Amino acid sequence: MINETFVASDPKSAYDQAVQKYGNEVSLVSAKQLKYDDGVLRCEVVIAVPTELFMEKSFGDLSMDNSSSDEDETLLEEIGELKAQLEQMKDGFLELGESNSIIEEVKTLFVEKGIAERWLDEMFRSLIDTPVVEETSLLVSYLLEEIDEILKVKEEDLSTPKVMMLVGPTGVGKTTTIAKLAARYAYLLDRPYKVALLNLDSYKVGAIEQLEHYADIMQIEHHSVSSVEEFKEKLEQLVDYDVILIDTAGMSPYDTQKFIKTVEFVNSDSQRDIEVNLVLSATVKYEDMEDIYKNFSFLNLDSVVISKFDETKHFGTLLNFMLLYNLPMSYFSVGQEVPDDLLLASKEYLLERFIGDVNEG
């Protein structure tokens, strides 16, 4: 198999390019959104293609033609020169950083607490030879202010009907979070909103029963859906509801089958806009962050719901995720109680916990 990358303004268009070129013999490897040098956000989708099909579609009868070898050699030389320039820039910056013990002290502390070295280097690059780097407390305060500035919060808005789909890795608490949201919308706000629950999780044993149990207690309508057509029909039937909450199967970043199934639901021809919310555990491991983002960014995420605040005292890695991938936060799940342990997302709430962890350092 050969991997090929397709780029478009949105995930569906990039994936459609691959299908148009190779048909249905492709398989999804990864998908991510990147901000290019021109400031435009684009989606890169990596597709695995059978080798023979790749050669046929990409080169045809010209696969043995060596006429472009000179151009290829020139391109490789340019790439090599670019890599060398980048290494020089990196070495130069490291020398500056190493000459300032305060930068090294603060950098070490923040890295130990889970903040990515590359993000810190971006911050320090603009501070060399300024008064900020001459005092530890001043530099720490500056970084915290920058973090506060970068973090985004998605405000709760129920002024119009909405369809909310919750996606995320296995075991992050999507079903419990949906129950908390349902109770909030139906009973805890300025007026009772009309809420319905849809369950797309036919993989996890007991998943349907668990959501049904919550729905029965709250006297909220609940439906289990197994196909895209049935999904579209249910959305049409529930058109007069204020909020429709959709539970999905938990997915490993490597579970392509479940992922493609979820993509089909998100990209259905429904007349309703679907707001996709990634449920992310506060206990996320640094090593898993990139895989989680690559997997779920393909779904055009609207916000992040952060769960399991009660299961950790260390929030650096979570904060790092929010800084690197620039996603707005919408809700925090801070315990197991339904519906009590759900809060509107707050920069202050997250930063207070991170600062406590930094102070311990």
118: in domain: no
Is residue 184 located within the same domain as residue 321?
A: yes
Judge if 342 and 199 occupy the same domain: yes
| End-of-domain residue from the set 64, 79, 100 | 64
Local confidence band at 99 (pLDDT 50, 70, 90 cut-offs): very low
Supply the pLDDT for residue 155: 95
Same-domain pairing of 311 and 192: yes
Predicted pLDDT of residue 146 = 94
Which pLDDT tens digit goes with each residue over 253-276?
Answer: 555 556 556 766 776 666 778 899
Q: Let me know: does 73 contact 79? Beta carbons within 8 Å.
A: no
pLDDT band at 31 (very low <50, low <70, confident <90, very high): confident
Domain assignment present for residue 95? The answer is no
Does residue 115 come out as left (phi exceeding 0), alpha (psi in the -120 to 50 range) or beta? beta
| Position 193 pLDDT exceeds 60 | yes
Q: Which of 64, 93, 115 is the last residue of a domain?
A: 64
Q: Is residue 85 part of a domain?
A: no
Structural domain count, the chain: 2
C-alpha to C-alpha distance for 294 and 308, rounded to whole angstroms: 22
Range of the domain at 40: 2-64
Confidence band for 227, pLDDT divided at 50, 70 and 90: confident
CATH number of 233's domain: 3.40.50.300
CATH number of the domain to which 42 belongs: 3.30.70
Answer yes or no: do 316 and 177 share one domain: yes
Confidence of residue 210 (pLDDT cuts 50, 70, 90): confident
Give the span between the Cα atoms of 328 and 169, in whole angstroms.
Answer: 18
Amino acid at 296: F
Query: Pick from 12, 29, 64: which residue ends a domain?
Result: 64
- Per-residue pLDDT at 207 exceeds 70: no
Q: Which of 110-114, 133-137, 200-204, 233-237 has the lowest mean pLDDT?
A: 200-204
Residue 194 lies in a domain: yes
Q: How far apart are CA 186 and CA 78, in angstroms?
A: 60
Can you tell me the mean pLDDT for 230-253? 86
